[in-house]
Amino acid sequence: MKILIYLTGGLHWIGGVQYTRNLLRALALLPASERPQLVLQISSKNRLAGFEDEFRTYPNVLIDAPLKVGHDTLSKLRRAFRKLSGRELQGKFLLSDECVVAFPAKGPNIPGPSQKIYWVPDFQYKHFPEFFSSEELKSRDAMYNRMFAEPGILVLSSEAAKQDFHRFFPQFEEKPVRILHFVSTFAPDDFAADPLSVCTRFALPNEFVYLPNQLWQHKGHDTAFRALGILKQRGIQIPLVCTGSNEDYRTNEYGRHLDDLLKSYSIHGQTLRLGLLDRRDQIQLYRQASLVLQPSRFEGWSTTVEDARALGKTIVLSDIDVHKEQNPANAVFFAVDDHYDLAEKLLAAWNQASHQPRLENERLARREAVERSLRYARDFLSIAKAAAAGRT
């Protein structure tokens, strides 16, 4: 069975890229006899970001391209026909045309002959409409209503997201829904570097708390900064390292608000914001960190939590439903949005932390992560086979 995989996300949303990366790496762990042939389709906006160079090295992955038919006339005709009619010209002219199913389909009327498996990362816009413009709220509702009306399986990442789907779209109660918990999957090369050397290159302290969320409004950086400020007022300074995109496409005000918090609490010197890092560098920060912090107000299924779990790290995280559903080992929960509770929980966890990479914990976590990744890969293939056979 050939499966078309759409690269989701991009430099604007690196979490989407990581979703694709985890899925392809999990499938690569399968025995050769179980691995499907994969065709990865990369949108034009992502074609200059270097993703082709990475993903073409994965076993059984081909980057979507015209089929070699001896001449490019058919490919040109196919593109012209799509542009003029909005439909696909019948015939196998792209590698993806040979695929039986395609995932993750994130909208309606996606062209191509394959059976679409739909996916919604989360329903954040329903919980926090104030983070979105009225136009975007209407657009998403309209898009999802069209998408959910199409036949085919809808994949969600958590039971919490499934509950949201039934709550906000009750008219689609008959829609077949499958839960697919993604996991963080690492390659051996991810552990080739020395964590301390990488952190030294970024001029980081040897001991720090790591918050790897992009600076979007729902990610809870303001709660984290307030908690650090409370502790500093008590004479306690805990270094915090933040990575991830500094841009939120919805507003520039949140970034200014965070800058104001840093100034008002005088915590500039202990808060380091590095922006978007190479994934392998980011992994070394995870490994070196004394603690991982995840203060998010909303997630569909948290990559930060899965990364911490797969690396055997202690994580301090908000008590939202999805985080409790993920329930990682070595978790310390605090009341979401409560910076006073976070200050207390963070200090207690900091005082108990080893402040050195715990290699035995990491080794055991990595072994368990491989087993979880194999289960994830096989769960995905089960969904793909059901979609290909028209089952739900």
**Amino acid in the structure at residue 83:** K
Domain limits for position 45: 2-64+100-180+371-388
Per-residue DSSP letters for 255-300?
HHHHHHHHHHHT-GGGEEE--S--HHHHHHHHHH-SEEEE--S--S
The pLDDT tens digits for 263-283 are 999 999 999 999 999 999 999
- Give the separation between CA 148 and CA 172, rounded to whole angstroms: 7
Same-domain pairing of 206 and 337: yes
pTM for this entry: 0.90
Same-domain pairing of 160 and 238: no
Q: Which residue has the tokens 């409560």?
A: 338
User: What pLDDT, on a 0 to 100 scale, did the predictor assign at position 13?
Assistant: 85
User: What pLDDT, on a 0 to 100 scale, did the predictor assign at position 72?
Assistant: 60
Nearest CA to 216 out of 254, 243, 242 is that of 254
Task: Mention every residue, 6+ apart, whose C-beta is less than 8 A from residue 161.
Answer: 120, 122, 123, 300, 301, 322
Same-domain pairing of 159 and 248: no
The pLDDT tens digits for 130-156 are 999 999 999 999 999 999 999 999 999
φ and ψ at residue 277, rounded to 5 degrees: -110, 160
- Give the separation between CA 121 and CA 158, rounded to whole angstroms: 9
Residue 79 lies in a domain: no
User: What pLDDT, on a 0 to 100 scale, did the predictor assign at position 91?
Assistant: 62
Nearest CA to 241 out of 224, 260, 256 is that of 224
Lookup: tokens for 284? 């070394």
Q: Look up the CATH number of the domain holding residue 382.
A: 3.40.50
Same-domain pairing of 121 and 226: no
Same-domain pairing of 341 and 381: no
Q: Look up the CATH number of the domain holding residue 335.
A: 3.40.50.2000
Residue 216 lies in a domain: yes
Same-domain pairing of 49 and 167: yes
User: What pLDDT, on a 0 to 100 scale, did the predictor assign at position 75?
Assistant: 67
Same-domain pairing of 251 and 220: yes
Lookup: tokens for 117? 């498996």
Residue 238 lies in a domain: yes
User: What pLDDT, on a 0 to 100 scale, did the predictor assign at position 67?
Assistant: 77
Please state the domain count of the chain.
2
User: What pLDDT, on a 0 to 100 scale, did the predictor assign at position 73?
Assistant: 63
User: What pLDDT, on a 0 to 100 scale, did the predictor assign at position 74?
Assistant: 65
The answer to whether residues 3 and 105 touch, using CB atoms and an 8 Å cutoff, is: no
Residue 128 lies in a domain: yes
Lookup: tokens for 387? 């979609």
Same-domain pairing of 173 and 196: no
Residue 35 lies in a domain: yes
User: What pLDDT, on a 0 to 100 scale, did the predictor assign at position 47?
Assistant: 81
Same-domain pairing of 243 and 196: yes
Q: Find the Cα–Cα–Cα–Cα dihedral 364, 367, 369, 372, rounded to 10°.
A: -120
For the chain, residues with pLDDT lower than 70 are 69-75, 77-78, 81, 85, 88-92, 392
- Give the separation between CA 376 and CA 387, rounded to whole angstroms: 17
Residue 90 lies in a domain: no
Nearest CA to 279 out of 125, 50, 111, 88 is that of 50
Report the side by side order of strands in the sheet with 291-294: 271-273, 240-242, 209-211, 291-294, 315-318, 331-334
User: What pLDDT, on a 0 to 100 scale, did the predictor assign at position 380?
Assistant: 98
Same-domain pairing of 224 and 253: yes
Task: Mention every residue, 6+ apart, whose C-beta is less than 8 A from residue 57.
Answer: none
Same-domain pairing of 17 and 163: yes
Residue 95 lies in a domain: no
- Give the separation between CA 116 and CA 103, rounded to whole angstroms: 6
Lookup: tokens for 61? 């992955």
Same-domain pairing of 161 and 200: no
Residue 289 lies in a domain: yes
